[in-house]
Amino acid sequence: MRALEKSPASLLVPFYFFLLGLLILFSLILLVQGVTGAGRNDSFTNMLFIMTGLTGLVSTFYMIRRYQVSVQKMLKERKTVVLTVEECSKCSYKAVRPFREGDYVYGYGEECPRCPKGSGDTGVENRMVITAIYLEGGRQEERY
Amino acid sequence: MQPLLFLGQDNTDIGYLINILYMAMFLVLVFWGEKIQTMIRLRDIEYALERLRLMRDESVKFTKEKLKKYGREDINRFLDNYLEFVTIPPVDMDPAGVVWKLDHIVKTAEDRVRGEIKQIIPNLDESQVLNIMNLFEASYALNYYYKVVRHYYILSKKTSSYILIIQLQAILPQVMMEAEAYLGALQAFSSGQPIGDGAGALVAARLMRGGELFDIERDNVYTVKNIQGRRVYFMKAKGPGGAVGTPGDALMKLSEKESFKMIFMVDAGLKLEGEKTGSIAEGVGAIIGGIGTEKYKIEEVATKKTIPLYGMIIKMSLKEAITPMTKDVLNGVEEAHQLLLKRIVEKSSEGDAVMVIGVGNTMGIAQ
């Protein structure tokens, strides 16, 4: 069997996390410098170091979170509920149930619970007709 | 009072270091600014490419899982080969007759795929074969998107072409949207659920109910009904498999024995952003998508016999067109059904023969 080709971008993720690691390290150094005030008596500069370090840390964690969310979105199983509408042609009884494989519009569904089954009924006489099959929720999710 | 100092303005070692860093950054941006932007844009493309690869793999895996129940390993091999299947369009230097050549090539390709699936799994019925073909086409489309994007990504990287990178990045959201739509279509294709594109076929199916059905040409059925004294021919692709039929061929054949006063066509159409799903647009012309061969045949018949072509479009997005039919589309079908009956009576007179074609993929819709 032919193996599916690999993407040239498969090394991207480790490299991305390596860069994020560097950013965290740099931010931590700035933060420590700011807190300890090494080599300065200037509180304003220390404050700037602290702010820069914190900003670096916050933005790094934001980027990690964004990556997590995008991966979750990508891998999230698309759970859609498709419904089948059945109608009895004799008594107009209508029922809605989840779609089952083999259902199709104007095909036969289940037996009508209201209409009594005649003794001579052997085939589709008592079965409801599928009049619609549609996606629950009304509209498709648009991500872009 | 302490003067306002910015990072690097104090005369400490750290201050000097930061000043040097600022200057270095300035020089880097002057000389390598475009290179950095290119890298950032390439990173975005790489991310999208990786997503496309995941989608392609997921679709192939899903299709193989679904085909497991038939217990035939050959079908997996056939799917892998099908992903690289090519259909070469005819030469169009001399355009006369190119439509018929294209029609022949497309039908040959379809016959070959259909025949091979049947050969591998002989006990499949026609609907199942068509649904498997639709599944294969979704995987094919995803593989094709991935390969084309990868091609331009590698090419732009090789040539360091900034313009190529920008162009590729600009079309990526559209490509991703279409790829997402194909991925979302897999579930519907595998279980034979009606899709949005079947809206036109569903309108015809509603109107055909109770009539005697006749097969005509490849994958089409029609029925004739009397509506207020008019002989109305309703035609659609034969369901419930995922077929689109050949309405052009069928119309050509039917028009030999019947002289139609008008032709009505109903089809699903792509909406513009901001338009409401399920809304109806009326118009004139052959309302049918695809490669254009069926459209050509319908236009030929209509022009030669001077038959007016009227049509209705049920609007939806691409995603809605190839994923399970939504309630909005279903409401549009109901509206189009009522409107069509009204227009048939309004535009024709008693005794006229009218043709109604419900265009679209009839997956999950009988008749």
* Residue B71 lies inside a defined structural domain of this protein: yes
Other C-beta atoms within 10 Å of B167: how many?
A: 13
Q: Mean pLDDT, to the nearest integer, of A74-78?
A: 58
Within 8 A of B5 by CB-CB distance, chain A residues are: 42, 44-45
- CA-nearest of B230, B236, B288 to B262 is B230
Bond from prior residue into B173 cis (ω within 30 degrees of 0) = no
Q: Which amino acid, residue A13?
A: V
Does pLDDT of A144 surpass 80?
no
Q: Which of A75, A95, A117 is the last residue of a domain?
A: A75
Within 8 A of A2 by CB-CB distance, chain B residues are: 80-81, 84
Considering the domain architecture, whether residues A67 and A42 belong to the same structural domain is answered as yes
Does pLDDT of A11 surpass 70?
no
Does pLDDT of A80 surpass 80?
no
* pLDDT attached to residue A121: 56
* Dist. CA B287–CA B355, nearest whole Å: 13
CB pairs under 8 A between A and B: 144
* Half-sphere exposure of residue B359: CA atoms within 13 angstroms, side-chain side: 24
* pLDDT attached to residue A114: 86
* Dist. CA B268–CA B119, nearest whole Å: 33
Mutate to test the interface with B, among A2, A6, A7 (most CBs of B within 10 A): A7
Considering the domain architecture, whether residues B124 and B244 belong to the same structural domain is answered as no
State how many domains chain B has: 2
Contact B50 A7 (CB under 8 A): yes
C-alpha distance from B96 to closest chain A C-alpha (Å):
40
* Half-sphere exposure of residue B268: CA atoms within 13 angstroms, side-chain side: 30
What is the dihedral angle through the alpha carbons of A73, A76, A77, A80, rounded to the nearest 10 degrees?
A: -50
Considering the domain architecture, whether residues A62 and A90 belong to the same structural domain is answered as no
First to last CA, chain B: 89
Contact A138 B5 (CB under 8 A): no
By the 8 A CB rule, do B285 and B311 touch?
Answer: yes
Considering the domain architecture, whether residues B328 and B298 belong to the same structural domain is answered as yes
* pLDDT attached to residue B155: 95
> In which residue are the tokens 């109903």 written?
B266
Name the strand (E) or helix (H) holding A49: helix A43-75
Whether B201 has its CB under 8 Å from any CB of chain A: the answer is no
Within 8 A of A142 by CB-CB distance, chain B residues are: 177, 317, 319
Q: What residues of chain B, 261 to 320, have a C-beta less than 8 Å from chain A?
A: 277, 317, 319-320
B325: nearest CB among A16, A102, A134: A134
Residue of B nearest to A10 (CA): B50
Considering the domain architecture, whether residues B99 and B134 belong to the same structural domain is answered as yes
Percentage of residues in chain A having pLDDT higher than 90: 24
- Count how many residues are written for chain A: 144
* pLDDT attached to residue A16: 80
* pLDDT attached to residue B227: 94
B326: nearest CB among A7, A8, A135: A135
Contact B193 A44 (CB under 8 A): no
* pLDDT attached to residue A139: 53
Considering the domain architecture, whether residues B172 and B46 belong to the same structural domain is answered as yes
* Residue A141 lies inside a defined structural domain of this protein: no
Considering the domain architecture, whether residues A64 and A106 belong to the same structural domain is answered as no
Considering the domain architecture, whether residues A48 and A32 belong to the same structural domain is answered as yes
State how many domains chain A has: 2
* Residue A7 lies inside a defined structural domain of this protein: no
* Residue A140 lies inside a defined structural domain of this protein: no
Does pLDDT of A44 surpass 60?
yes
Low-confidence ranges of chain B (pLDDT < 70): 1-12
Does pLDDT of A19 surpass 50?
yes
**Per-residue model confidence as pLDDT tens digits over A115-137:** 877 655 556 678 899 999 999 87
Considering the domain architecture, whether residues A16 and A70 belong to the same structural domain is answered as yes
* Residue B266 lies inside a defined structural domain of this protein: yes
Q: Which stretches within chain B are classed as H helix?
A: 13-67, 74-82, 98-120, 126-159, 162-191, 199-208, 247-257, 293-304, 318-322, 327-347
| Tokens matching residue B189 | 């294709």
Considering the domain architecture, whether residues B147 and B254 belong to the same structural domain is answered as no
The pTM (predicted TM-score) of the whole model is: 0.80
Does pLDDT of A141 surpass 50?
no
Considering the domain architecture, whether residues B174 and B217 belong to the same structural domain is answered as no
C-alpha distance from A5 to closest chain B C-alpha (Å):
9
Whether A134 has its CB under 8 Å from any CB of chain B: the answer is yes
* Dist. CA A16–CA B22, nearest whole Å: 24
B77: nearest CB among A1, A105, A132: A1
Q: Which of B191, B223, B243 is the last residue of a domain?
A: B191
* Residue B234 lies inside a defined structural domain of this protein: yes
* Dist. CA B156–CA B243, nearest whole Å: 39
Within 8 A of A11 by CB-CB distance, chain B residues are: none
* pLDDT attached to residue A3: 44
Considering the domain architecture, whether residues A63 and A93 belong to the same structural domain is answered as no
Considering the domain architecture, whether residues A25 and A68 belong to the same structural domain is answered as yes
Q: Tell me the backbone φ, ψ of residue B181, rounded to 5 degrees.
A: -65, -45
Considering the domain architecture, whether residues A16 and A71 belong to the same structural domain is answered as yes
Considering the domain architecture, whether residues A45 and A62 belong to the same structural domain is answered as yes
* pLDDT attached to residue A1: 39
* pLDDT attached to residue B68: 86
B5: nearest CB among A45, A82, A132: A45
Q: Which amino acid, residue B320?
A: E
* Residue B3 lies inside a defined structural domain of this protein: no
> Could you report the predicted ipTM of this complex, rounded to two decimals?
0.85
* pLDDT attached to residue B322: 92
C-alpha distance from B328 to closest chain A C-alpha (Å):
6
Whether A119 has its CB under 8 Å from any CB of chain B: the answer is no
Can you give the residue range of the structural domain that contains A57?
A: 12-75
What residues form DSSP beta bridges with A84? A97, A133
Considering the domain architecture, whether residues B155 and B43 belong to the same structural domain is answered as yes
Considering the domain architecture, whether residues B184 and B200 belong to the same structural domain is answered as no
Q: Return the higher-pLDDT residue of A5 and B130.
A: B130
Can you give the residue range of the structural domain that contains B300?
A: 196-358
* Residue B325 lies inside a defined structural domain of this protein: yes
Considering the domain architecture, whether residues B159 and B269 belong to the same structural domain is answered as no
Does pLDDT of A78 surpass 60?
no
B154: nearest CB among A1, A8, A52: A8
